Each structure stands twice: as C-alpha cells, then as structure tokens.
A and B are shown apart, each in its own frame.
Chain A
Amino acid sequence: MSQRAAQLARVIAAVWRISLAEAIAYRVSMLMWVLTTTFPLVSLALWSGLAAGGPIGDYARPDFVAYFVAAFLIRQFTASWVVWELSGQIRNGDLNTLLMRPMSPMIYHAIQNLAALPIRCALALPIGVVVLVLAGGLAWPSPGSLALLGLSLALAWLLNLAVHVAIGCLAFWVTESTALFEVWLGLYLVLSGAAVPTSLYPAGLAEVVRALPFHASLGFPVELAIGRVTGSEVTHGLLLQALWVAGFGLLAAVLWRRGVRAYEGVGG
C-alpha cells in the first residue's frame, strides 16, 4: 500500500514538473489569462469612482479597493480551465491517450491545474501589491483567520474544478459544452461578486444570490479575506462551500464515469 502511495507521489511529481514547464512555455497565454482576470481592477476603478461622493451601501471607497484587489488575487489562486481542455480532448479523441495512462485523467488535470499556480501567483501578486500601494493599504486578516481563509480558498478551488469537470464532461454527449460553460461564466461574472459585491444587491435578492455556488466560489472567500464575515457567518459560509463542492463533485464524478463508459463503447 505504501509502495503504491510512493509510486503515486512520484507520478504526481512528474506531472507537476511537466505541467510547470508547459506553463512556463505558454507564458504568453498565462499573461493573457492574468490580463483577463484583471477585470476586477477595472471594476475597482469604476466603483471607487462611483463611491467618491459617499459610501454605496456599506462600502466606502477604500472598501471597494480592498474588495476588488482581493477578488483579483483570489480568482488567480482558485482558477481552473479544465473545461476547455477536457471538452477538446473528448472531441478530438486525445482523451484516449490520457485514458491509456495508468493514472486517472481527473488527477492529471487537477495536478496540471495546481502546477500553474506558482506562475500565476508570480504574475498576479506584483499587480495586486502595486494596486494596493497606489490605492492605499489593505488590512490583512489575523493569522487565525488566515487558516480559515486557506480552507476557504481550497474549497473554492475544488468547487471551480468540479464545475469545470462536470460541464466539460457534457462534451461526451453534446458538441457545445464550452458554449454551456460560457453561460455559466456569464452568470458567474454577475452573481459571484466579480463585478459587484453581492451584499449590495437589493435585500431579498442578495440572500438568494449569496446562497448560490457562484458566491461560494468567489464572493465568500473575498469577504473572508477582507474581514467582512465574522463569527457564525464564517462557519455558515464554509459549510455552504463544502456543500456545493460535495454536490458538484458528485455530479462531476457521475458524469465522468458514465461519459467514459459511453466514450469507450463507441471507441472514441
């Protein structure tokens, strides 16, 4: 058993190394990606401009700065792009190669995803720091809440991954799974808190929005990072995150298993 674990660790390390090298090789696309995800920074400019005359809801100008810088960084940390790869591999038959490897393609994708993290951070952190210095300070959370933040980030990453895999797996049956993902992305931008803090939505609507997986994957960790959620809200939010992770994880697993069966049946 321990031998197998060691073997698995070696394989993971190898995938990691290759993926890291790939991530560096494709640094242009990485930079593109970081650019795309800098939009919270434009939202920042927008909202801090709007808040110049006075606070909007419970967000004053510096709050918007803190919020959107945190949103920018957290999107970098928790991002996934498996849906593009997976649906592409399913459609052009490359998945066959992956299936032949003595390792689950899912683990492969997950490691690949993690491998790009250091580079993304290296690209994104300086931008975040510069903006913070320009816009004036952000109170970092205490060490105790940092651990909670770490947990929340991990859950957010898992949630993103599960959603990506679930939608990517739809490519087993329909040709336009990426189009479906675009729909998800559209909703995400509005409902996750990437474009506007969800707490600013009108009362009634805000509660609904904040219960959805979109908020769990971005809005909640952001609010946790800037110290806007405290006490029982933290546990509540983390539980909600875990619940969505479990839900989408299950969906992804079922779709993946059925999909692979159907795929192998027709020989790709």
Chain B
Amino acid sequence: MRHVPRAMFYLRLVAAQLEMSTLTALQYRLGFWTEGLLGLLWSVIGIAPLFVAVDHLGAVEGWGRWELVVLTGCFTILSGLFTAVLQPALRESMTHILKGTLDYVLLRPADGLVLCLTCAFQPWHLVEVLGGLVLVIAGLWLGEVEVTATGLLAGLATGAAGLMALYAFGVLVLCASFRALQLQALTHVMEALMDFGRWPAQVFPPVLRLLFTFVIPLLVMTSYPAEALLGRLSWGTVAELAAVSATLLVLARLAWVRSVRGYTSASS
C-alpha cells in the first residue's frame, strides 16, 4: 500500500547516513592515505602466494596467470566493498552495543537492521573497488578472453549473490555479538578468512570447498563470479549459489529479529 513512499524514505535515509559518515571520514585526512591506497596496495601484494604457486606449477588447477589476475580483481572488488561499506558498519554497530548507544539506533522509526548496516562508511576504500575493476578488465584483456553477454550476466548475478552472502554473514556476526560482546572478534575471523577467497575453488580439498561454498560462502563471493566471467559456470550453479545466498539472508534476518527481542541494553 505504502511501499513506494517507504522505498523513497529508505533511499533518503541511506543517503543521509552515507553523508554523515562521509563527513565524519573527512575529519581524518590521514585515513585516505593509510587506508585507501595502502588497502589497494595490500590487495595486490596479497596475490604473492598465488603467484609463487603459478611460478612453480605453471598453472593452478587449470587457472592460468591472467585468469588468476581476473580472480584477484574479483577478490579486490569484494574486499574493497567489504572494507568500505560492511566492515565499518559492523564495527560501528558493535561499538553501539558496547557503549549502549544502540538504544538510540533502535529507537529511530526505521528498520533497525537497515540503520545498523548503513551507520558507517569509509568512502576511500572504494579506491580498492576501482582497482579491482581495473584488474578484472586487464586480466580479461591480456588473457584474450572473450566475455559473452551471458557470461557477464552470470558474473554479475553470482557477484550479487556473493555480496548478499557477505552481508548475511556480517549480520550473523553482529547478532552473535549481541549475545557475547567478545564475539565481536568474529569480524576479525571473517576478515582473515576472506583472504582465502583469493584462491580458485578447485584448490581446496572437497570438505573445505563445501564449507566455503555453503557455510561460509567465501567462494560464492570471488571464485565463482570470476569463473562466470570466464564463461565456465553453468546456469544451474548460478541458481544454486543464489539459493545459498537467499537462505543465508533469511537466516540472518531471523537471527536479527531474535537478537533484538533479547536485547538487554548495556548496564542500566
């Protein structure tokens, strides 16, 4: 009935949140250099182990040098989005939980989860996203891969599924930290785990591959989009991955509703 105005309201709300955090971020100029550019540098340096493997083996499980560059590009885009949008929001929300100021967030007349997931933003990490895009394009170009329209579509679809899975996972971590504040360290676990997203799916032993596809959908975020772009992924797999993400999202939403009901607010 009022869906369209609500959507407009949420758009305005998210814009206002982004504006606030950009204004805040601008207070810290040093962040631009330390976090943005060095983040990009680090994303690129991170390929080192992969290239050590290629150096010794010629190709890693059927992935040649340039294909690995595409994969690294996908990874860099994702980790850039993570550090620009999701990670700061998770950290800020956890600080709110710790200090008890989550009270104010929950008292605002809008969806608490939307408020939490948009409450902080680090614009300069978008540099990494740009860098990742450059890597993807360069890898495809130099590897002389012809990207078909369906490949591109499948790549975007799996990428979107991966991003959703990442968000769902972040929300689950946030919910866990409602229970025990120390579980905030899970974000570090999450960050460190993400690093394995650099590797092609085929490298992992079957058990880990299942784990990283269905439980911690790391590969959905990086390896599969790259494969889709390279035209190696069937639509069946794409649908499967979308289903995984959707399931995680539903789980995350349920966990959120439960957590808020059990919220006890920091000491009275």
Q: Name the segment of B108-116, B138-146, B183-191 touching the other chain.
A: B183-191
Option from B35, B182, B196 in Cβ contact (under 8 Å) with A26: B182
In chain A, residues 6-39, which have Cβ atoms closer than 8 Å to a Cβ of chain B? 26, 28-29, 32-33, 35-36, 39
Q: Is the Cβ of B205 less than 8 Å from the Cβ of A190?
A: no
Q: Is B2 an interface residue (CB 8 A)?
A: no
Known contacts A46-B199, A183-B42; decide if A35 and B189 are in contact (CB<8 Å). yes
A183 partner, pick from B34, B185, B186, B204, beta carbons under 8 A: B34
Q: Are A175 and B56 in contact (CB under 8 A)?
A: no
Give Cα distance in the complex from A76 to B138, angstroms: 40
Is B31 part of the binding interface, using a Cβ–Cβ cutoff of 8 Å? yes
B215 contacts the other chain (CB 8 A): no
Contacts of A47 in B (CB 8 A): 53
The interface bits of chain B over 27-71 (1 if a CB of A lies within 8 angstroms of the residue's CB, else 0) are: 010110011001000100110110011011100110000000000
A239 located at the interface, meaning its Cβ lies under 8 Å from any Cβ of chain B in the complex: no
Does A201 belong to the interface (CB within 8 Å)? yes
Cβ of A204 within 8 Å of any chain B Cβ, yes or no, is no
**Are the C-beta atoms of A32 and B188 separated by less than 8 Å?**
yes
What chain A residues lie within 8 Å of B185 (beta carbons)?
28-29, 32-33, 36
Contact indicator A36/B204 (Cβ below 8 Å): no
Determine the distance from Cα of A197 to Cα of B68 in the docked complex, in whole angstroms.
Answer: 20
Q: Interface residues of A, CB < 8 Å — how many?
A: 35
- Nearest chain B residue, comparing its CB with the CB of A194: B49
Mark the stretch among A49-57, A112-120, A136-144 that contacts chain B. A49-57
- In contact, B30 and A46 (Cβ under 8 angstroms): no
The chain B residue sitting closest to A174, CB to CB, is B30
Flag if B199 contacts A186 (CB, 8 Å). Answer: no
* CB proximity of B115 to chain A, nearest CB, Å: 25
* A29 to B179 alpha-carbon distance, docked (Å): 13
**A190 engages B46 (CB within 8 Å):** yes
Q: Which of B31, B46, B53, B188 contacts A179 (CB 8 A)?
A: B31
Give me the interface of B with A, judged by CB distance under 8 Å: 28, 30-31, 34-35, 38, 42, 45-46, 48-49, 52-53, 55-57, 60-61, 180, 182-186, 188-189, 192-193, 195-196, 199, 203-205, 208
A-B contacts besides A28-B183, A32-B182, A190-B46, 10 pairs, CB < 8 Å: A29-B185, A36-B185, A47-B53, A50-B57, A50-B60, A176-B30, A187-B45, A190-B45, A190-B49, A201-B48
Residues of A within 8 A of B (CB): 26, 28-29, 32-33, 35-36, 39, 42-43, 45-47, 49-50, 53, 56-57, 174-176, 179-180, 182-183, 186-187, 189-191, 195-196, 200-202
